[in-house]
Structure 1
């Protein structure tokens, strides 16, 4: 089974990933709980290898100097490439696309390198760099507060900018998908931007690998009715497939 985090644990993880390290006392104050409560939440995360505890702080495990986004680009990379290739087949020369930031959408951008005269709207500097100035593409990059980890812009400015567009394909990636809550993510600003992306597309696609199934994250992104197609490397569990079907959506499994 995949790891499942409580809302408090998800917020602790998000803080450690965002800032590199987080003070245990500061986490307790921010979450409005006692030190003992937050230590209990942290203990489980440390035992499972998600965090390292040292001198009153917690931080993500040290995998060298590379950024967490770079590490995530290599996690389940083969599955993400299959998903990206599958989604890329749905996109034709001249199409308009809006994408959020994420490892799957970054890999999708690389799969779209052979397409011509695309119009791309994104908050991801990685997606923008990959597709700009080649093959007659036109790229619109949302502005806003830049995140150092993934090089993406967030906030009201980014959301207002994206909301001005109407595109043929709206594509997002997520951190988790739960049969009851639907698609979820760990950071509020990422969930808000992803929700905006879906509202701007005629063909609304959620691209995610199977490790996100039956997981819970901190923030709900949308309902099952808010997207049309789920593309994954494996069929979703029955409860997720049923919820998607009841909302009028469908799923496709990326072929090898």
Structure 2
């Protein structure tokens, strides 16, 4: 029972720091099986301390309430894999621009051990995750605040983004197909374009559920990005379009399962 109590404390410590974490990520950090983590979180969820969301958990009151937080739980294991792979592209001391999105929020969590990063973002979630860690500096851009996503958007945000030049411009995507990278919100798409324009390296992080789908607004053609980081190889038609546009595809590897 003592060991279980210590593990409960560790789970709450991780969630208190990072908000929402997948079961697989907790299993890896605690060096136990995913099934053990599920057993551990069950009584905490029953007491209302935690909220369970499609393969992830978060602290009650901060997770599972807003639509953005619910989306953090969708395909969370894939997003964790993508985030770790994208984080491996970043070196200590690099500068990054990150747009708002669940996968870029997971990337921020994967960057918490990096040092001396300069981060430009419109996401309050990303800013909270990385500010004050290991000498990191966060530039949170102003604009109209969206209560759902915790993002700042609008013309002022785009104009502020245009003043920066960064090593890595990283955006999420609502959809990606041979027509290009797309999003559902015109303001988010406009900001994503500004992010890409700021970067020496232009990266899209998105899971395979977005493949061969269409969304309202095109952010850019496929040739407007250099790297796509995802968790499975794109289907043949999309793979051919990416190859023609000279986009490098990085397939994120799964972390080996931990044994109890």
Shorter-chain TM-score bucket reads: 0.7 to 0.9
Aligned to 1:245: 243
Aligned to 2:84: 85
Question: Does 1:113 find its partner at 2:112?
Answer: yes
Query: Any runs of at least 4 consecutive aligned residues in structure 1 with deviations exceeding 2 A, and if so which?
Result: none
Encode CA deviations 1:188-207: one digit per residue, 9 max, x unaligned.
00111011101110111100
Q: How many residues are aligned here?
A: 192
Aligned to 2:132: 133
Aligned to 2:206: 208
Aligned to 1:228: 226
Aligned to 1:54: none
Return the TM-score normalized by structure 1.
0.74
Q: What's the offset of the Cα at 1:239?
A: 1.5
Encode CA deviations 1:162-200: one digit per residue, 9 max, x unaligned.
110100000000111122x21111100011101110111
Q: What's the offset of the Cα at 1:133?
A: 1.2
Encode CA deviations 1:225-251: one digit per residue, 9 max, x unaligned.
111000100111111111111112110
Q: How does 1:67-86 map to 2 (within 5 A)?
A: 67-86=66-85
Return the TM-score normalized by structure 2.
0.72
Question: Does 1:173 find its partner at 2:168?
Answer: no
The unaligned stretches of length 5 or more in structure 1 are 1-63
The unaligned stretches of length 5 or more in structure 2 are 1-62, 255-260
Question: Does 1:194 find its partner at 2:192?
Answer: yes
1:113 is paired with a residue whose SS is: coil
Q: 2:91, 2:181 → 1: CA distance?
A: 27
Q: 1:210, 1:65 → 2: CA distance?
A: 23
